[in-house]
Chain A
Amino acid sequence: MTLKVENLRTYFFTRAGVAKAVDGVSFEVGRGEILGLVGESGSGKSITGFSVLGLVDPPGRVAGGRILFHGEDLVGRSQGEMRTLRGKKIAMIFQDPMMTLNPVLSIETQMVETVRAHDRVSKAEARARAVEALGLVGIPSPDERLAAYPHQFSGGMRQRVAIAIALLHRPELIIADEPTTALDVTIQSQILAVIQGLSRDFGMSLIWISHDLGVVAGLAHRIAVMYAGRIVETGETDTVLDSPVHPYTIGLMRSVPANLERGEPLTPIPGMAPPPLGRSAGCPFRLRCFAATAACEIEPEEATADGHRWRCFHPQIARAA
């Protein structure tokens, strides 16, 4: 198992109170596996990704749980120890390609420094590796483009550069935080194709964070659906999408018009997600849930069947067919 996260809790200690952004999240990613982490804004999916790399900004911090990378717990490691992992064993790609590259440094500088942050190699060798990585992500004439600055690239090309930087050390795990959300559909497809190919060719594990079930469906082996800081349902992609059991997952699927036939009515989930500071006890979804009963006042434990897991007292198993 490349990564195993157990009962992760990441809290933000603000003046107004403790915001439990991630509240007891467990999942695992095997070698070469793609995990799709899906949720709406504020569900804690990005914070989960940052927690793995130890990159949560204050006032937030990991308040509990374990993050096992090849069996070794990363929680509690010093920044110095984490740094040797970041970019080397675990890399990350960000959402906004316009903001992830430093505007005043050339692509070459930003790539060479990444190589040399972990490996003692000459500048020439680091440069050669940078050219190779740019080629892998499909940047035409990488040797020339290396001298360019970020503003000379389009959004899609910048995201390719960011992926190339993440690839420099052939990491075992890449955490991708909504890397195609800011891109157009045709460009998104290009990036997805690049990522899919790379993951297959190098056997890299991937956590793909997205709000879009459709993107994840096309890419991921397994899916984890997050709501209000918890994973409410997880399993094989086909299982979760063909027979979802959590009312939230079902609601999410029926909210996206692209998933429905033309003319089929949308069934929105009523209300809105509770803010991280105002979450009451019990199942966080119960106030919006069509199946909620008095039982939901207590937080449901995880239930499981054939690797399909959910946190719900009223799983919609009969519905699933």
Chain B
Amino acid sequence: MTALTHRFQESQSFWARSLRGILGSPKATIALAICLILIATAIFGPALVPQNPYDLAAIDFFDARLPPMSNSMSGTTYWLGTDGQGRDMFSAMVYGLRTSMGVGLFSGVIALAVGTALGLTAAYYGGRIDTLIMRLVDLMLGFPTILVALMLLALLGQGVWKVVLALVIVQWAQFARAVRAAALIERGKEYVEAAASLGLSKPRILFGHMLPNCLPPIIVIGTLQVANAISAEATLSFLGIGLPITEPSLGLLIANGYQTLLSGQYWISVYPGLLLLALVFSINIVGDRLREVLNPRLSER
């Protein structure tokens, strides 16, 4: 009976199946829409916002800490108020979103590439290479990402590329483990044996036959890892060891409001925080739905 209902869910294309799966859930559809809007904002936003918050000429210190909906000295309305330096919060958030998203996506994609390559290598060659790679993976996964990132950044110092590097280092192992597990399952299936007995070349079997069947976990983990990376970067920046003040991300904006929070100037922290939450939450909802649609048995985390 399960086989029966299952057959209706399956369809040819993996991408079509993913998309249909997302659109099949109102929650995930809304989340996907929010993701797309936020991506568009990050790309086109700086051209549309009222102020370049990092152009010193554009900001006026007398506008500092204005509550939302205030008018500035020059007459423009700050919908979301201003921060301690008199920057328009809305503009600062759009710039921050761009940075946060960029770092998250970039590190996620590199980690995916590195992890997939190493995971496939491990599964394919087996033996010592496998042992070596997997010991390294175990080592990485044995420690919480935030601790490793902290260690790395404490040693490396601040900087965008250093943060990306740290995030790649803490993320690749997740991909490697998932890809290896998936590839090992595929390698044990008879269609791989059949391909070998048909005399097909090893790269062809590995990339043409096995890799496409390993895609679902890669995509699901990739989605969730981007959300993780954005969150981790924000945390590191909040702690003051992530991005430098010259490249403010959402985490840094929130940190700026930390001191003033107790005196009631909530907007400096609350709005960037809500934006960060909306971003991470919607990516996670989409990822969770993908997990459900593509691979119900994928392990947690």
Contact = CB atoms under 8 A, between A and B. Distances in A.
Q: How large is the interface on B (under 10, 10 to 19, 20 to 34, 35 or more residues)?
A: under 10
Interface stretch (B1-9, B122-130, B162-170): B1-9
Contacts of B5: 14-16
Contacts of A209: none
Contacts of A276: 1, 4
B1 A60 contact: yes
A60 B5 CA distance: 12
Contacts of B1: 12, 19, 21, 47, 60, 276
Interface in A267-282: 275-277
A21 B3 CA distance: 13
Main secondary structure, interface of A, reads mixed
Nearest to A46: B1
Interface size class of A (residues with CB under 8 A): 10 to 19
Most buried by A among B1, B4, B8: B1
Interface in B1-37: 1, 4-5, 8
Interface in A20-40: 21
A14 B3 CA distance: 12
A316 B52 CA distance: 90
Interface string A175-200: 00000000000000000000000000
Contacts of A275: 4
Nearest to B5: A14
A43 B1 CA distance: 11
Nearest to A17: B8
A294 to B, nearest CB: 30
A305 to B, nearest CB: 35
B293 to A, nearest CB: 15
Contacts of A14: 4-5
Interface string A42-71: 000001000000000000100000000000
A12 B1 CA distance: 8
A19 B8 CA distance: 13
Contacts of A47: 1
B6 to A, nearest CB: 11
A15 B6 CA distance: 11
B92 to A, nearest CB: 48
A60 B2 CA distance: 11
Contacts of A15: 5, 8
A165 B1 CA distance: 27
Contacts of A12: 1
Contacts of A19: 1, 4
Contacts of A16: 5, 8
Interface string B217-252: 000000000000000000000000000000000000
B276 to A, nearest CB: 37
A12 B4 CA distance: 11
Contacts of B4: 14, 19, 275-277
A19 B5 CA distance: 10
B82 to A, nearest CB: 53
A59 to B, nearest CB: 9
B20 to A, nearest CB: 14
A160 B83 CA distance: 75
Nearest to B1: A12
Interface string A1-24: 000000000001011100101000
Contacts of B8: 15-16
B83 to A, nearest CB: 52
A16 B4 CA distance: 10
Interface of B: 1, 4-5, 8
16 contacts: A12-B1, A14-B4, A14-B5, A15-B5, A15-B8, A16-B5, A16-B8, A19-B1, A19-B4, A21-B1, A47-B1, A60-B1, A275-B4, A276-B1, A276-B4, A277-B4
Given A14-B4, A60-B1, 14 more contacts: A12-B1, A14-B5, A15-B5, A15-B8, A16-B5, A16-B8, A19-B1, A19-B4, A21-B1, A47-B1, A275-B4, A276-B1, A276-B4, A277-B4
A-B pairs, top 8 by smallest CB distance, nearest first, are A16-B8, A14-B5, A12-B1, A276-B4, A19-B4, A275-B4, A277-B4, A60-B1
